[in-house]
Structure 1
């Protein structure tokens, strides 16, 4: 998945990652997600998110290298939250660079 399909916001070296509208449109309605564990170390070649959706099953690579400090646990219980437009609720993970 191309980098235009996810957004990042950095605050004090911690990067929040989510899917852009283009990413959501390519995937379709998200029905299942697998997120990394908090504390996991990721490189930019590691999978950040495994997602199953109406149009595709994708492994989405991490846009930044670092340690996972938080994941959106609401997305695990209800993957459809990632379909939303509100970044406060539709984020995937937070990564400390």
Structure 2
């Protein structure tokens, strides 16, 4: 997936990652998501999440290298939260660099 399809916000060495409107449009309605586990170490090319959606099934690479310190638990039980543009509810993971 193109790097324009996710957003990142860094605060004190912790990067929050989510899908942009372009990313959501490319995928379509998200119906399933698999996220990393807290404590997982990711390299920049490692898979951050697997997504099943109307238009595609995709592995989305991590945009940063570091350790996963938090995941959006709401997205695991209700993947549709990733379909909206509200960053407060549609983020995917927080990664400490």
TM-score range, shorter chain: over 0.9
Q: 1:8 and 2:4 equivalent?
A: no
State the SS of the aligned residue for 1:4. Answer: helix
Structure 2 partner of 1:94? 94
Q: TM-score, normalised by structure 2?
A: 0.99
Instruction: Return 5+ residue gaps in structure 2 as ranges.
Output: none
Instruction: Return 5+ residue gaps in structure 1 as ranges.
Output: none
Q: 1:79 and 2:73 equivalent?
A: no
Aligned counterparts of 2:29 and 2:67: Cα–Cα separation in 1: 28
Aligned counterparts of 1:93 and 1:8: Cα–Cα separation in 2: 10
Runs of at least 4 residues off by over 6 Å = none
CA RMSD in angstroms, aligned pairs only: 0.3
State the SS of the aligned residue for 1:8. Answer: strand
Q: TM-score, normalised by structure 1?
A: 0.99
Structure 1 partner of 2:21? 21
Aligned counterparts of 1:6 and 1:20: Cα–Cα separation in 2: 5
The CA deviation at 1:45 is 1.2
The 5 Å alignment of 1:47-86 reads 47-86=47-86
